[in-house]
Amino acid sequence: MKTIVLKISVIILLLAFMGAGCKKDEEDLSYLDYTKPLSTPPGFAIYKTHKDYFFNVSIRPYIDDFLCPELSENGSRIILYKGKYYYTERFRLINDYIVSYEVDPDSYFTSLSYDEYIREKLTPYYTREGSAPSKVVSSIIDRDPFTEFYYTSSEYSGFTIDEINQLIKEKKLEKYFTKIK
């Protein structure tokens, strides 16, 4: 009986160690430059969502259609890292906040990763379907994703990630950013 318990314990420990050593490529954010100041072209958002959409493409409703990001494998906001394409203008902050350039208060999130979006050439430029390719629209998974949303215009540019994290710690986001939600 002791032998069986010992074998089972060893197997459980081995599985635990193997699992602890695994790290998703998606969680390796070393491709992002967390040291550069954030500029405001024309502004950026700080937000929290109901679920983790950090690697998901966002789109916005527009009149009777949707606006999709114009991204390509050669674009300045995309990087090929460890065989996958990633968006370089979205950063994780403390306490589950995200800072991003392309997300607006009316944005929706899709099930598409940036890698899928780029590889399948779903940007409207390539598909010639107008402002939103049908595959992108049909991939919408959350039309009301935000639990909190702050925005800044060009008045407050030049914040670093560390400075924004400090504002979050001190509960001072509303001093420099407009709270939308």
Parts of the chain with a pLDDT under 50 = 5-25
* Domain regions of the chain by residue span: 24-179
pLDDT in tens, 90-109: 999 999 999 998 899 999 99
Instruction: Return the pLDDT at 40.
Output: 55
Its pTM stands at 0.77
What is the three-class DSSP state of 84? strand
CA 81 → CA 16, 61, 129, 136, 153, distances in Å? 28, 30, 29, 23, 30
The single-letter DSSP state of residue 159 is: B
pLDDT in tens, 148-158: 999 887 665 67
Contact present, 143 and 108 (Cβ < 8 Å): yes
- With a pLDDT cut of 90, the percent of the chain lying above it is 40
